[in-house]
Chain A
Amino acid sequence: MALRMKSSLDCGWQIVLLLFWSARSLWAVQPGGSTAPGTNIFSPASTPAKSIVDLSVFVLVITGIIFVVVCTLLVYSIAKFRERAVDAGREPPQVYGSTQIELAWTIIPILIVVVLFLATARVIHAIEDVPVSVGGLEVTAIGHQYWWEFRYPKLGIVTANELHIPVSDPNHPTPTFLQLLSVDTDHSFWVPELAGKTDLIPNHPNRMWMDPQRTGVFLGQCAQYCGTQHAKMLLRVSVDSPEEFAAWIRSQQQPAAQEAGVNAGKRVFETNACMNCHTVAGTAANGRFGPDLTHLMSRVTIAAGAAENTHNNLRLWIQDPSAIKPGSLMPAMRLSDADLDAVVSYMETLR
């Protein structure tokens, strides 16, 4: 018995070490250090995410103290009050309770709850009740099964899956305000390093904001189960310097490139079902069921981040979307090789 207890204790230590090793991954990306895209909630780059980390550290400290205190009591009482061989047959003193002790362990938790609540309410107010400021950028994010539509109403830009927003200088803040809508089921916008998540619910407009303070790419994905391909409804947020952002706006505001060499592909696009769902601004294609393709080649990924935007992936995606994203609502087009090459060439001119 003693041996078995010891071996299970050893095993317990190994688990603790393993857990410690696992938890280390939380500190692998230090705030402000590496610019590799990550999704660590403890590596915030924007005010809402930062105030959440501040609150969470406070809550973690308090709950940590409670854990240590209660755990110590528990372990002590097990160790100290185990039945020993000499005790056999004798019952311990029968104690039924104690009003003073009961009062103590009622009042102390009440005080802790009051403190935690006040800290929480302050941060709720600070994040949620921020008015839309004049200098801010307004973007409408619309959830679709299984991709994101981004519309910049004041700039006349429509894009998909890859959100571009300007970096915000704390001295001259340029926050981004997102209006969140959904055309079908519930979704949730979650880019952990920029802000907490907010759902996109049909018939229930929501909003959220972020003011990223460093440039780079931030990753995230849909967090509310929305159907078959919920897993591959990925998000990329590109936080641009003011110059990059201005340049991006200028290029997105252009109508689609019209190159004579790809007329065959354009014809394939416009005589097949493609144009029912996709828009290419300045042409007859004005469908809104699928992503706007006017500037498709300005995006790094296709299929809501499921694949890189390369020639082969585009070809595969058009011919057999389920090879990349089974359950996606994009139909397999089953084009002839010639038509497929033509339409891919056309896509590749939409910069």
Chain B
Amino acid sequence: MSSNALTIPGTQIQARPWVDQLHQWLTTVDHKRLGILYILSALLFLAIGGVEALIIRIQLMHSHNNFVSPEVFNRMFTMHGTTMIFFVAMPILFGFANYLVPLMIGARDMAFPRLNAFSFWLSFMGGLLLYFSFLGGSGLYGAGNAPDVGWWAYAPLGSRAFSPGHSSDYWTLALLVSGLGSIGTAINIIATVLCMRCPGMKLSRMPLLAWLNLVMAGMVLIAITPLSAAQIMLLIDRYLGGHFFDTQAGGSAVLWMHFFWIFGHPEVYILVIPAFAFLSEIIPVFSRKPIFGYPVMVAATVAIGLVSTSVWAHHMFSIGMNSYANSFFAITTMAVGIPTGIKIFNWIGTMWGGKIRLKVPMLFCIGFLFQFLIAGLTGIMQAAVPFDWQLTLSYFVVAHFHYVIVGGILFAIFGAFYYWYPKMTGRMLSESLGKWHFWFFLIGFHLTFDVMHIPGLLGMPRRIYTYEPGRGWDTLNLIITIGAFIQAIAILVFVANLIISYFRGAEAGNDPWDAWTLEWSTSSPPPPYNFATVPTVASRRPLWDLKHPEDPDSHYE
């Protein structure tokens, strides 16, 4: 490990043979190593899901393109969506939560270290299971290999009549297995936050990152459960002669939609709340001010968590619900914009009057603010139900949710990488490569996803492997594809930065950003036990109190 780790007599770590090191990584129950494993596995799947996205974009570059067959295209968008949500976004956020929550609350590990390892391996194996479908999915029928039913697998398309062979089973089982992993992690985060805080760290002094991950974990319990139940029901339908979703035998396709989206919409917030958490840590440090309105930020997060469990049917405005149901889900959807808006205002309030340092983590956070604002506003458009009857299932929606997930969540994740990489490795990421990464990604992102709204408004549905010429979609799609490749270049710069900086980056020291939360009080990377002595805190910014004994926060709280 790095030379600046605290040296405690008798714990000096020698260089070990690689088999030994591998064994240590595979059997580890240390929250930091598991966090890094989560992140690395997510990066692996990010590369795979990214290649799938590029295949989709090449195929759609112009009308009547024959780059891939319709069957392959349908597999690509199904695998892209499933991979990015379940095996990239969730694991990477769980990884950061795992790594950071115990450090930020002054704990020595998660509450259940072995459950933690079990959960990670479940999630990871779920991903491998999904990709094993390319080999094992054909079954006896010579049917397609990888799942091709879309990442919602709407009934009855997922039933055996329309999806023979085993491709959908791999999808079902992969989600079931990784879902169990997610539930394990959620329980662990909740228990850790509630029970493992260091002396003095009341809930009201907890860093927002821990608060937001607590809310996120609660939502995982609410959201993943119906998804897992639905997957089991689907398996019963497919193999035990059940008829839950079998419309030919009186089953209900709409039931599946409800099950899926009562998971699917909270899922969006499960992903975005940890992104909010990154912003709530990074923006104050780079604005040199405490977060504006801490209690309101907590309340807004809890409000988002509660309201977001009653908005799911806004994914289903086109299924013919009656006007009362449509109106209900319109108002709840618009209402969730209120606490979200409060958050954006509070981040701006934090920057206001500060001394903003435009380092790479902050650049990504500013990108987030700008793009998440637009994503929220296009979301409001779709909450206006009749407008959504035009927008839903079109490329406008695809642009909207990529604005949320890429323009919002992924930008925040990149910010988190640049901010916490020094803590995880002891080395700084290169600032200049980071700027190249930021600008390339920003330009590629806007080329792709700004333009993508327009074919939607011009009537282009999603999930089509080709389209007719003369609809005015060709040039727009070409621009979108070019943007996708620019984003791919940015990702390569990012990966190069991760690798080069690991070996050549500047030494980080304990606290490279002059930050205020507990993880910066220990060495980089932290020793296995995190803190030599368990810290005691008196305010929300314990390191501020240490650095400014003349004016500590504890005087005001």
Q: How far is the CB of A315 from chain B (nearest CB, A)?
A: 20
User: Which 10 A-B residue pairings sit nearest by Cβ, starting from the closest?
Assistant: A196-B389, A39-B459, A206-B320, A231-B464, A202-B247, A97-B293, A83-B355, A63-B377, A223-B393, A223-B461
Which of B363-414 touch A at CB < 8 Å? 366, 369-370, 373-374, 377-378, 380-381, 383-394
User: How many residues on the A side are at the interface (Cβ–Cβ under 8 A)?
Assistant: 102
Which of A218-243 touch B at CB < 8 Å? 219-232, 234
Q: A70-B373, A81-B353 are in contact. Are A95 and B292 (CB under 8 A)?
A: yes
**6 further A-B pairs in the complex, CB-CB below 8 A; given A98-B292, A196-B389, A230-B463:** A39-B471, A56-B381, A56-B387, A70-B344, A124-B327, A145-B162
Q: Which residues of chain A have C-beta atoms less than 8 A from B377's C-beta?
A: 63, 66-67
Which of B341-362 touch A at CB < 8 Å? 341-342, 344-346, 348-349, 351-358
User: By the criterion CB–CB under 8 Å, are B355 and A225 in contact?
Assistant: no
- Chain A CB within 8 A of B439 CB: yes
Q: A78-B356, A186-B253, A199-B320 are in contact. Are A227 and B335 (CB under 8 A)?
A: no
User: By the criterion CB–CB under 8 Å, are A101 and B319 in contact?
Assistant: no
Q: How far is the CB of B455 from chain A (nearest CB, A)?
A: 9
Q: How far is the CB of B323 from chain A (nearest CB, A)?
A: 4
Residue of B326, B370, B388 near A74 (CB, 8 A) is B370
A59 to B467, CA, bound (A): 30
Listed stretches A109-117, A133-141, A287-295, A331-339; interface member: A109-117
Q: Which residues of chain A have C-beta atoms less than 8 A from B345's C-beta?
A: 70, 105
A229 to B467, CA, bound (A): 11
Residue of A96, A180, A185 near B294 (CB, 8 A) is A96
Q: How far is the CB of B301 from chain A (nearest CB, A)?
A: 14
Q: Per-position contact with B for A190-232: 1 when CB-CB < 8 Å, else 0?
A: 1010011111011110110000000000011111111111111
User: By the criterion CB–CB under 8 Å, are B353 and A92 in contact?
Assistant: yes
Listed stretches B89-97, B417-425, B445-453; interface member: B445-453
B residues whose Cβ falls under 8 Å from a Cβ of A: 69-71, 74, 148, 150, 154-157, 162, 247-248, 250-254, 287-290, 292-296, 318-320, 322-323, 326-327, 330-331, 334-335, 337-338, 341-342, 344-346, 348-349, 351-358, 366, 369-370, 373-374, 377-378, 380-381, 383-394, 435, 439, 443, 446-447, 450-451, 454, 457-468, 471-472, 475-476, 479, 548, 551, 553, 556
User: By the criterion CB–CB under 8 Å, are B390 and A81 in contact?
Assistant: no
Q: A52-B387, A91-B288 are in contact. Are A204 and B252 (CB under 8 A)?
A: yes
Residue of B323, B446, B463, B468 near A125 (CB, 8 A) is B323
A28 to B251, CA, bound (A): 45
Interface class of chain B by DSSP: helix
Residue of A19, A81, A195, A326 near B356 (CB, 8 A) is A81
Looking at B290, B293, B320, B346, which has the most chain A CB atoms within 10 Å of its CB? B320
User: By the criterion CB–CB under 8 Å, are A192 and B381 in contact?
Assistant: no
A228 to B69, CA, bound (A): 10
User: By the criterion CB–CB under 8 Å, are B386 and A196 in contact?
Assistant: yes
Q: Which residues of chain A have C-beta atoms less than 8 A from B451's C-beta?
A: 18-19, 22
User: By the criterion CB–CB under 8 Å, are A26 and B458 in contact?
Assistant: yes
User: By the criterion CB–CB under 8 Å, are A11 and B342 in contact?
Assistant: no
User: By the criterion CB–CB under 8 Å, are A106 and B318 in contact?
Assistant: no
User: By the criterion CB–CB under 8 Å, are A81 and B352 in contact?
Assistant: yes
Q: Which residues of chain B have C-beta atoms less than 8 A from A199's C-beta?
A: 318-320
Q: Which residues of chain A have C-beta atoms less than 8 A from B292's C-beta?
A: 95-98
Q: Which residues of chain A have C-beta atoms less than 8 A from B320's C-beta?
A: 180, 198-199, 201, 204, 206-207
A228 to B167, CA, bound (A): 14
User: By the criterion CB–CB under 8 Å, are A116 and B476 in contact?
Assistant: no
A109 to B387, CA, bound (A): 20
A303 to B374, CA, bound (A): 40
A11 to B378, CA, bound (A): 25
- Chain B CB within 8 A of A120 CB: yes
Q: Which residues of chain A have C-beta atoms less than 8 A from B389's C-beta?
A: 52, 127, 195-198
| Chain B residue with the shortest CB-CB distance to A82 | B356
| Chain A residue with the shortest CB-CB distance to B295 | A97
* Cross-chain pairs A/B with CB under 8 angstroms, 15 sampled: A38-B458, A39-B460, A41-B459, A66-B377, A98-B292, A113-B338, A120-B387, A186-B154, A186-B253, A196-B318, A202-B156, A204-B320, A206-B319, A225-B157, A326-B69
Residue of B156, B287, B447, B462 near A18 (CB, 8 A) is B447
Q: How far is the CB of A20 from chain B (nearest CB, A)?
A: 10
Which of A13-50 touch B at CB < 8 Å? 15, 18-19, 22-23, 25-26, 28, 38-42, 48-49
Residue of A95, A110, A207 near B338 (CB, 8 A) is A110
A15 to B451, CA, bound (A): 10
Q: How far is the CB of A190 from chain B (nearest CB, A)?
A: 7
User: By the criterion CB–CB under 8 Å, are B355 and A91 in contact?
Assistant: yes
Q: Which residues of chain A have C-beta atoms less than 8 A from B458's C-beta?
A: 25-26, 38-41
Q: Which residues of chain A have C-beta atoms less than 8 A from B390's C-beta?
A: 41, 49, 52, 56, 192, 196-197
A159 to B148, CA, bound (A): 30
| Chain B residue with the shortest CB-CB distance to A79 | B356
User: By the criterion CB–CB under 8 Å, are B381 and A63 in contact?
Assistant: yes
- Chain B CB within 8 A of A246 CB: no
Q: A8-B439, A15-B447, A95-B292 are in contact. Are A101 and B349 (CB under 8 A)?
A: yes
Q: How far is the CB of A2 from chain B (nearest CB, A)?
A: 12
User: By the criterion CB–CB under 8 Å, are B476 and A120 in contact?
Assistant: no
Q: Which residues of chain B have C-beta atoms less than 8 A from A98's C-beta?
A: 292-293, 349
Which of A173-189 touch B at CB < 8 Å? 180, 184-186, 188
Q: Which residues of chain B have C-beta atoms less than 8 A from A121's C-beta?
A: 323, 327, 330
User: By the criterion CB–CB under 8 Å, are A73 and B348 in contact?
Assistant: yes
A214 to B537, CA, bound (A): 72
A258 to B460, CA, bound (A): 41
Q: Which residues of chain A have C-beta atoms less than 8 A from B162's C-beta?
A: 145, 184-185, 227
Q: A40-B459, A198-B320, A202-B247 are in contact. Are A97 and B334 (CB under 8 A)?
A: no
Residue of B157, B251, B288, B330 near A226 (CB, 8 A) is B157
A83 to B293, CA, bound (A): 22
A120 to B314, CA, bound (A): 13
Q: Which residues of chain A have C-beta atoms less than 8 A from B466's C-beta?
A: 231-232
User: By the criterion CB–CB under 8 Å, are A96 and B556 in contact?
Assistant: yes
A199 to B157, CA, bound (A): 14
Q: A70-B344, A109-B338, A124-B386 are in contact. Are A15 and B392 (CB under 8 A)?
A: no
User: By the criterion CB–CB under 8 Å, are A127 and B386 in contact?
Assistant: yes
User: By the criterion CB–CB under 8 Å, are A116 and B384 in contact?
Assistant: yes
A226 to B461, CA, bound (A): 12
User: By the criterion CB–CB under 8 Å, are B472 and A128 in contact?
Assistant: no
User: By the criterion CB–CB under 8 Å, are B459 and A204 in contact?
Assistant: no
Q: A113-B338, A186-B157 are in contact. Are A129 and B323 (CB under 8 A)?
A: yes
- Chain B CB within 8 A of A273 CB: no
Q: A25-B454, A26-B454, A125-B323 are in contact. Are A67 and B443 (CB under 8 A)?
A: no
Q: How far is the CB of A88 from chain B (nearest CB, A)?
A: 9
| Chain B residue with the shortest CB-CB distance to A110 | B338
- Chain B CB within 8 A of A259 CB: no
User: By the criterion CB–CB under 8 Å, are A128 and B348 in contact?
Assistant: no
- Chain B CB within 8 A of A94 CB: yes
| Chain A residue with the shortest CB-CB distance to B149 | A225
User: By the criterion CB–CB under 8 Å, are A74 and B369 in contact?
Assistant: yes
Q: Which residues of chain B have C-beta atoms less than 8 A from A97's C-beta?
A: 292-296, 349
Q: A83-B357, A116-B334, A201-B319 are in contact. Are A231 and B467 (CB under 8 A)?
A: yes
Looking at A39, A195, A229, which has the most chain B CB atoms within 10 Å of its CB? A39
User: By the criterion CB–CB under 8 Å, are A230 and B472 in contact?
Assistant: no
Looking at B250, B254, B346, B355, which has the most chain A CB atoms within 10 Å of its CB? B355
A106 to B299, CA, bound (A): 12
- Chain B CB within 8 A of A316 CB: no
Q: Which residues of chain A have C-beta atoms less than 8 A from B378's C-beta?
A: 63
Residue of B71, B344, B385, B461 near A190 (CB, 8 A) is B461
A201 to B294, CA, bound (A): 47
User: By the criterion CB–CB under 8 Å, are B338 and A106 in contact?
Assistant: yes
Q: A116-B334, A231-B466 are in contact. Are A185 and B344 (CB under 8 A)?
A: no
